Chains A and B, each alone.
Chain A
Amino acid sequence: MNETFYPPQEPQLQVSGNRKKQLLQISGLLLALWLCLLAAGYVIGWSASRGREVQSTAPKPRSVKVIKSENAALKKKLQVLGPRGLYIVIDTADNVLYLKEGIKTSLKATVSAGSGSLLVEPSGTRRWIFDTPRGEFTVESKFVKPAWVKPDWAFIEEGKPIPKNPKDRVELGMLGEYALGFGDGYFIHGTLYTRLLGKNITHGCVRVGDEDLKIVYRTATLGTKVLIF
């Protein structure tokens, strides 16, 4: 009779003890598995790093002489691709314009580049992203006292109806004294908002202060390269 007597709590304690043991075993197994995977990853990675790099598909030139001459030719080709004479560099992150010739910088001007903002027409049919384009461009046009022909987005942004008469789009004085077009309706031009120079606030054009703009206008000619990043 004495053998069948157990305190009531004991079986529960045993069960929870077993569970803990099982949990510990599972955790241990998972940890071991994870460590194995970790080790496998490191072994594979280490052996891969010891291997040679995969060469490009281009056949390897046969001799040192051949490859040296090919490299020299490629360096020349690269040099030719770069801008010749005076060129403009625009850093849209720091809002700076440089006037350069070779590695010499003749002007460093604080400017305003595109805001990167998005405008959606209330009807939802059209949308515009106001980024300054990046890459290589060319000065295609030069204007003194330019007039701004307001595009549709300017009216939408102002909450005004889009005029049917093209003359109603023309606004004077907004672009400053000079403007240099570099394609697709983008210009380097002046600004009324000089206190905002140094900030990304434009609709894609590059706004320059009066004095710096005068130098850029006088120095850059049609065909001058504009490099934007």
Chain B
Amino acid sequence: MVFIRLLFLSLFLTLGVEAAPAAELDQLARENNLLKSEHQFAKTPHVYVLFDLVEKKIFIKVRGTVLKELPITSLKIWGAPISVKPMTLLKKDAFIEPGRKEIKPAKEGEETTSELQALQVGDMPARYRLSLDGNIWLYVRPRAEGTLSTLLNTLSSLKSYVIIKPMGTLWHALRGESFTEVVIYLSENDARSLYWAFQEGYGCVIWSE
């Protein structure tokens, strides 16, 4: 009986000792992927974005230097786990997308009005979708403040539960692809700032659990 107990104890200890390094190795490997991905972007002089979904922060960076930090109010992740790898912003979609204002050249003797034809951060949408490679759809929504924004957030959530999550998953599964939906809530100003700073073609990395 004592022998059996000892056998179980030794087995338990062995497995416990083995499990710890495996988990540590896995975490270190993920950190390694993150550092490698970031290094790949930081080698270039271009802006890139790091979505730290664990710490709930978004970092706008160049050369590894943090230029701006945007706190995430809350977030939801659905679907396939996100690999820690360099990704590209393929497309930004918003219900009303900001368009460039065209300067009308002045006629002779006429005063120019170019000073007024500007695109400001306030013209950027606060509610939009960022399509990343690997079928990752990242929805940015403003934190609910007031009736209208609460209603719009509720409708967006409903759309997500009834259409995007199941149909998106099914559609990509039929094509043998994975699908992930991430919903991020930011303050309205931060959501607009992110739309302004994160341009199509820019690189990004997502760090999630």
Q: Which chain A residues have a beta carbon within 8 Å of chain B's beta carbons?
A: 37-42, 44-45, 48-49, 51-56, 58, 60-61, 63-64, 67-68, 70-71, 74-75, 77-79, 81-83, 87, 89, 91-94, 115-122, 129, 134-137, 156-160, 193, 196, 199-201, 225, 227, 229
Contact = CB atoms under 8 A, between A and B. Distances in A.
Contact of B25 (A67, A120, A129): A67
A96 to B, nearest CB: 10
A117 B100 contact: yes
Interface of B: 21, 24-25, 28-29, 31-33, 35-36, 38-39, 42-43, 45-47, 60, 62-65, 67-68, 77-85, 100-103, 105-108, 110, 112, 114-121, 162, 165-170, 173, 178-179, 192-193, 196-197, 199
Contacts of B117: 115, 117
B83 A119 contact: no
B32 A41 contact: no
A53 B26 CA distance: 11
A216 B158 CA distance: 51
6 contacts: A49-B78, A71-B31, A81-B43, A117-B100, A136-B46, A201-B115
Nearest to A119: B103
Contacts of A68: 28
B144 to A, nearest CB: 23
B197 A93 contact: yes
A229 to B, nearest CB: 5
A71 B33 contact: no
A211 B193 CA distance: 27
Contacts of B168: 41
Nearest to A130: B103
Contacts of A41: 165-170, 173
Contact of B42 (A78, A116, A118): A78
